[in-house]
Amino acid sequence: MRPLQILIDGFAISSLYALGATGFTLMFGVSGVLNLSHGAIMVVAAVIAWYVAGDLAAGPYWGALAGVATALAFAFITYRVIVRPIQNSPSIPREEKEIFVLTGTLLWGIMLQEAIAYLFTNNPKTVRPLITGVVEILGVRTPINEILTAALSWIAIGLLWLLVNRTRAGKALLAASINPRGLTLLGFELSRIYWLVWAIYGVLAGIAGVLLGAFLGVSSDNAGTLTASAFSIVVLGGLGSVSGSLIAAYVVGYLETLTAYTVAPSIRTLPVLLLLVAVVYVRPQGLLGRR
């Protein structure tokens, strides 16, 4: 029973990690931006969902919708107010744009985190799940919410896959991640592509945040940890490689779960860090990354 339990529990948390990291890595792949306010945006989505569903008594569906919409809005703000001005600034040398974007989004993330703590306190919040109850899967009692989390994560990832591989806009997005200059020459406006990728990012981060809020609960204090875990997963999988991140998310999710079950819950993140160090030293481009 133990292995099966690890399999099932690891799956849900890994799916959520995968969803959280997908938008993050897509963004890096297409526009070269590492958004360090990622965790804060997820927290904003979860807290807004909690607030709308609970305090405003609008119910879990409206709450989830409001959470995702807020994340989308904040993704746009992040791009418009922080990232784009830095990218377009003539007074920042090109080789330093990266550190400025990192510092800028980091500060922005701290601001969001503090604002949430101020308005809603830093108490952990749990979004009321869409469905409650448990089912038995081969003798393992599993909350329906856990299944729902995994399922919704995969639906979101699947929709993203369809969007990227089956629509014109998605193809352009993919092309931009490979060769933005080539795309410009074919008459595409990169600025539109960037807006699109921030929109996708916002929706994905929002869904991930709301699901996380319903599955594990979030506090504004988690913002940094969430960013760090997305970052680790993305590096493990290869910067910019969506499929790499998906695999890495499962590696991380299962490694953590396995450690928590078989060694001790207090060191659950340590093996992941060791793996990360090893990967960065031996294969810095990540599992599926290219240099």
Residue closer to other proteins (CB basis): 251 or 256: 256
Pairwise CA distance, residues 122 & 218, whole Å: 9
Q: In this chain, which stretch among 19-27, 65-73, 128-136, 156-164 interacts with other proteins, using CB under 8 A?
A: 128-136
Examine residue 239 and tell whether it contacts other proteins (CB under 8 A). yes
Q: Does 23 bind other proteins (CB under 8 A)?
A: no
Binding flag, residue 87, other proteins (CB under 8 A): no
Q: Which of 56, 155, 162, 267 binds other proteins (CB under 8 A)?
A: 267
Q: Is 268 in the site for other proteins (CB under 8 A)?
A: yes
How many residues of this chain interact with other proteins, rule: CB under 8 A? Answer: 97
- Nearest CA to 203 out of 247, 261, 160, 253 is that of 160
**Residue 183 touching other proteins (CB under 8 A):** yes
To which residue do tokens 């409001």 refer? Answer: 66
Q: Which of 56, 99, 151, 162 binds other proteins (CB under 8 A)?
A: 99
- Cα–Cα distance between 240 and 26 in angstroms, integer? 6
| Min dist. Cβ of residue 96 to other proteins (A) | 8
Closer of 51 and 198 to other proteins (Cβ): 51
| Of positions 106, 207, 223, 249, contacts other proteins by CB under 8 A | 106
104 is an interface residue for other proteins by CB under 8 A: yes
Does 189 help bind other proteins (rule: CB under 8 A)? yes
Binding residue (CB under 8 A) for other proteins from 62, 188, 195, 254:
188
Nearest one of 170, 209, 259 to 21, comparing CA atoms: 209
| 277 near other proteins, judged by CB under 8 A | yes
Closest to other proteins by CB, 35 vs 219, is 219
Please enumerate in sequence order all residues whose Cβ is within 8 A of that of 180, keeping only pairs 6 or more positions apart, or say none: 190, 193
- Does 111 participate in binding other proteins (rule CB under 8 A)? yes
Instruction: Report if residue 260 touches other proteins, rule: CB under 8 A.
Output: yes
Q: Which long-range contacts (CB under 8 A, 24 or more apart) does 83-87 make?
A: 83/33, 83/35, 84/194
Q: What is the largest CA-CA distance in the chain?
A: 62
Confirm or reject binding of residue 276 to other proteins (CB under 8 A). yes
Interface with other proteins, residue 129, by CB under 8 A = yes
Interface stretch with other proteins, choices 64-72, 96-104, 152-160, 242-250 (CB under 8 A):
96-104
Give the range of 69-77, 80-88, 152-160, 199-207 binding other proteins by CB under 8 A.
80-88
Residue 91 phi/psi, 5-degree rounding, is -90, 0
CA distance 224 to 209: 13
Closest CA to 279 of 259, 258, 252: 252
235 binds other proteins (CB under 8 A): yes
Q: Is 132 in the site for other proteins (CB under 8 A)?
A: yes
Q: Is 186 in the site for other proteins (CB under 8 A)?
A: yes
Kindly state the DSSP code that residue 127 receives in the 8-state scheme. Answer: P
Residue 252's nearest CA partner among 287, 284, 222 is 287
Are 213 and 50 contacting, i.e. CB atoms less than 8 angstroms apart? yes
Q: Residue 136 pairs with which residues in a beta bridge?
A: 141
DSSP state at residue 117: H
Residues ≥6 apart with Cβ < 8 Å to 287: 236, 237, 238, 241, 244, 247, 248, 251, 279
What part of residues 40-59 is at the interface with other proteins (CB under 8 A)?
Answer: 54
